[in-house]
Homo-oligomer: A and B are copies of this chain.
Amino acid sequence: MAKVKVHVFLKPGVLDVQGKAVEGALHGLGWAGVAHARVGKLIEFDLDGVEDLAAEAKKMCETLLANTVIESYRIEVA
């Protein structure tokens, strides 16, 4: 059994409204040095019964976990 972590982020150039909101709120709270805030998703799960973990995780991202038109993903298998 392996632990799979998938990081999903909006691609550079796609407006990240959540990130802008976080950045604005942090500025409002006095942290003026915050810049380039981006908010993504982190999906963790246990995976069992497959041979090539990374390849299966990639398939999962392409079909379900990420919208590859606007999102990029990174897979970590541990």
Contact = CB atoms under 8 A, between A and B. Distances in A.
B47 A31 contact: yes
Nearest to A3: B36
Count of identical protomers in the assembly: 2
Contacts of A42: 7, 9, 39-42
B34 A47 contact: yes
Interface string A25-57: 110010111111111111111111110000010
A36 B3 CA distance: 10
B41 A40 contact: yes
A24 to B, nearest CB: 11
Interface of A: 7, 9, 19, 22-23, 25-26, 29, 31-50, 56, 60, 63-65
